[in-house]
Amino acid sequence: MEETKKMTRQEKKALKERLKHLKSGKLEKRDASRGYLFMIPWFIGVAVFLAYPLGTSFWYSLNGIRNTPQGLFYTFKQFGNYTNILVRDPDFIVELVDYVTSTILSVPIIVVFALIIAMMLNMKIKGKSFFRLIFFLPVIIVSGPILGMLTEEGAGSISAIDMNAITAAISGVLPRMLAEPISDLFNNMITTLWYSGVQILIFLSGLQKIDKSMYEAAKIDGGSGWECFWKITLPNIKPMILLNVVYTVIFISSNSQNPIIGLIQTSMFSGDQDKGYGYAAAMAWLYSVVVILIVGLFALLLMTRKGAYEKQVKRAKKAKKQEARNRKKIERRNVRNAKRIERQRAQGKITSRTTSREDY
């Protein structure tokens, strides 16, 4: 038995050695190099358009910069720009708080609205394609300065809503910090809902992938439309909800209408020597950290149950394996003990008395 084990180890070792010196075939090699070749543009793209700008922008954020016709002049400030933003710049903190509040409030509204519209567009109605086009149209309009012009003209709000009454009502109940973003949300309701074009498409594709037989089976069992939505539709499109939430947060955060983007741009072109490129870069970095935190918060809230279930299964499997290993260990120990007793008996160390559990 021991001999066989030794052989296997040797064999394994030899195999490993052989594999080490084994050269891959020409075809395999060519395939691999082609793979790398196709990946090179991506690596170059990431290096040039992502890693380099990120690094440069971080370096900028640690400096005071003057952009002269003779070149860029740097004054190393360590984290001075960050300190100035957080300690001396009241606008940034105020705008940041407004941004966080309004994002947390508007993201659920946009996503729920998109889901409702997607479900309606997924029903059997005449002119379905036309309506899909209508709801996607704002995606083209909301980009660029057109949105700014429409908002200036008052097209972003619902004129039938009495904003003064709503603002007064909200201000009476909530603190100013919360009341203002909520009242702004009502004031820009149309604009907010315009942001949902892409999300509608994503939900629509998710809804169309749901197996219809599930609804049929549910209906045979007497399930209502409401029950079907909660038990079939929603669980099936949960990954889409997370995707849409992340997309919406990123869209709102990088939108040109966002006051923080405006603030960063203004700081970039400020004549104040304490501001400029370095200051704006530091602002952008602080802002991006906040955006990442918001995305993380939503991701934590919307992590699907399926993921948690899979984790539990994995944990159970691990426990089972451990149990099996322990069992084998005990078995091996029993075999060893039995052999030891046999040997001792042969050597006459143990009398003919039948061994009992107490001997051990």
Partner 1 sequence: MKKKILALVLAALMLVSVLAACNKGGSGGGSTTTTVSGEYEEVEINGYKYKKAKDMTTDNITLTIHQFDQKEVYELLAQRFHEIYPNINVVVSYATVGDDYNNALTSMVQNNQAPDVLMYSDCDYALSNGYLLDFSSFWNSDPETQNLADTINDAGLGCFNLEGGQRYAVPFKFFPGIIYIDKNVMKTLNIPMPDQTWTWSEMINIIKQATGHADIDGMKYYGLYPYNRLDSYYGIAARQDIIGEFGFNGQEFDLSEWAIGEQEFSDLKLGGYVCPDRESDANEAWTGDWDTWAGATSHVAVFSEAFWTFQSSWNNPSFKEANPTIDIYPYVVPAVSEADASAGHHSIATLDFGGIGSGTKYPREAYELMKFVSFGIDGWHTRNEIYANEENVNASGTPLKYDVMPVPLTKDETILNEYVNNVYCAGMDDEHKEAWKTYFQSCMQPISFGWTNIAGYNNFLVNYFNNLSIHTLVDNGSAKAADYKDEAKRQADYYHAKAMLDDFGPTSLYKVLNEDEIARYQAVVDAFEKG
Query: Is the CB of residue 242 less than 8 Å from the CB of residue 302?
Result: yes
List beta partners, residue 120.
none
Distance CA 317, CA 308 (A): 14
User: In angstroms, how far is CA 147 from the centroid of its own chain?
Assistant: 28
* Burial grade of 213 (CB within 10 A; 0-12, 13-18, 19 or more): exposed
Q: Which is nearer to partner 1, 25 or 90 (CB)?
A: 90
| Minimal distance, residue 270 CB to partner 1, in Å | 7
Instruction: Quickly tell me which residue has 């309606």 as its tokens.
Output: 120
Q: Which is nearer to partner 1, 156 or 276 (CB)?
A: 276
Query: Is the CB of residue 160 less than 8 Å from the CB of residue 148?
Result: no
| Minimal distance, residue 73 CB to partner 1, in Å | 7
Residue 283 CB contacts under 8 Å (≥ 6 apart), including other chains: 85, 92, 260, 263, 264, 267
Among 266, 304, 326, 337, contact with partner 1 (rule: CB under 8 A): 266
Among 208, 254, 265, 326, contact with partner 1 (rule: CB under 8 A): 265
By the rule CB under 8 A, 238 interacts with partner 1: no
Query: Is the CB of residue 195 less than 8 Å from the CB of residue 109?
Result: no
Query: Among 22-30, 206-214, 270-278, 332-340, which window interacts with partner 1 (CB under 8 A)?
Result: 270-278
By the rule CB under 8 A, 276 interacts with partner 1: yes
Q: Which is nearer to partner 1, 85 or 294 (CB)?
A: 85
Near partner 1 in 59-98, by CB under 8 A: 66-70, 72-73, 90
List beta partners, residue 172.
none
By the rule CB under 8 A, 272 interacts with partner 1: yes
Residues 14-53 vs partner 1: string with x where CB under 8 A?
A: ----------------------------------------
Among 236, 255, 270, 288, contact with partner 1 (rule: CB under 8 A): 270
| Minimal distance, residue 69 CB to partner 1, in Å | 3
Distance CA 253, CA 195 (A): 12
The residues that touch partner 1, with contacts defined as CB under 8 A, are 66-70, 72-73, 90, 265-266, 269-273, 276
